[in-house]
Amino acid sequence: MEIDIILNEFASPQAALELGLMAERYGIRGVWASNYGWSRDPFFTLSLLAHQSSRIRLGPMAISPAELHPLKMANLLFSLNELSQGRAMIMVGGGGAVAQSMGRKRERMIRGARECLEILKGASPDRMLNYGGQIHQVWGYQPKWYTDTPPLIYFGSNHPQTRRLSAQLADGLITSDFVVPLAREFIAAARDDLRAAGRDPARFRFSNFWAWHIKADPAASMAEARRELMLRGWLGEQYFAPFLDPDEVRLMRAHERDFLNAFLRGSSVIENVPDTLVDKMIRNISFAGGLDQIEPAIETLKGFAEAGLTEIALRVHDDPADAIRLIGERVLPALRQAGVAAV
């Protein structure tokens, strides 16, 4: 299992270059640039790193055909791939923050995603693509300059229907906020989907979006984790049921607005919810706390590797350089020594 880093939506091209080169020196596999309605363009954010790095993979996360036509998505992706000499990747999504900011509803999401993946995988410098989909059409598309090793195309999938779509068309899938038991179950089902589609599961990639908050200052870490807790699976029951009892799940769901208010205010104060419940949620669905939590995090990462992840995408927040340093100096060597991470 390899390690990727997800940069926050405020990262500039210069910051992505600095942080990405640091990650590359540690042997981290890839850097993802977050995509939101208020963020810099993630392809542009990664452009300096693509040009000046030599080994690390890089890609935008997540880009939806609800916000960007697949032909334009292909041109941007293949341009980033050319700039990095074949090291680009992308996570395609069904429609998220950007589409919401544009006031677009998630209509015919599966059909739109399928057509997007078929267009991205069907593009070739050797033959012209004419694609007449129900939602997206592409006529006379032949990017003759697209000659580097093709980029990796992932789909963001937490549900069975999109999991099956990923197994049919993508190079890999990325779940988000799946604890180890959920990841194990989902990957096993995806491998069945791959075999049903006539594909080799050993050639498919599995990743999981996971929040990293560990800091030298435990109080700062927990404050950051509390502020961001609303985003962990958007408090969906399936993500928390493996470690909360039913009454705790009901209490969490009843106070969704309190979690959201903390996030919107940038505050660590989650009103009307017991601290004991908040701490239990944080410690089970993210890496948080002081440096003494690195060893437990390493054990959890071993569990993810055993469950079948080929990589894991760690979302860093405040002080990203410090987070990358801890991951590069403390986590990766331990995983390599245990035979879990690639050297």
Instruction: Report the sign of the C-alpha dihedral through residues 119, 315, 280, 295, in that order.
Output: positive
Q: Over the stretch 180-200, which tens digit does the pLDDT of each residue have?
A: 999 999 999 999 999 999 999
Arithmetic mean of pLDDT, 287-291: 98
Whether cis (ω within 30° of 0) applies to the bond prior to 288 is: no
Compute and round to an integer the Cα radius of gyration of the chain. Answer: 20
Q: Answer yes or no: are the C-beta atoms of 80 and 50 closer than 8 Å.
A: yes
- CA 289 – CA 23 distance, rounded (Å): 22
pLDDT at 251: 97
Q: How much is the pLDDT for 38?
A: 75
User: How confident is residue 98, by pLDDT bands cut at 50, 70 and 90?
Assistant: low
SS3 letters for 288-310?
A: CCCHHHHHHHHHHHHHHHHHCCC
Closest listed residue to residue 65, CA positions, set 7, 120, 123, 9: 120
319, pLDDT greater than 90: yes
Assigned token pair, 193: 């989907």
Q: Which residues partner with 33 through β-bridges? A: 7, 60
- Residues in the chain, total: 343
Q: What does the pLDDT look like over 255-277, one tens digit per residue?
A: 999 999 999 999 999 999 999 99
- Provide the percentage of residues in the chain whose pLDDT is more than 90: 88
Residue 279 clears pLDDT 70, i.e. is over it: yes
For residue 103, count other CB atoms closer than 10 A to its CB. Answer: 6
Other beta carbons less than 10 A from residue 112's beta carbon: 21
Give me the mean pLDDT over the 291-311 stretch.
98
Count CB atoms within 10 A of the CB of residue 104: 13
CA 294, 2, 237, 107 dihedral sign is positive
Split at pLDDT 50, 70, 90, the class of 95 is low
pLDDT of residue 85: 97
Q: Which two tokens stand for residue 33?
A: 């640039």
Q: In the prediction, which pLDDT does 343 show? A: 63
What's the whole-number mean pLDDT along residues 86-91? 98
pLDDT at 36 over 90: no
Can you state the angle between helices 275-285 and 218-228, rounded to 10 degrees?
90
Residue 333 identity: P
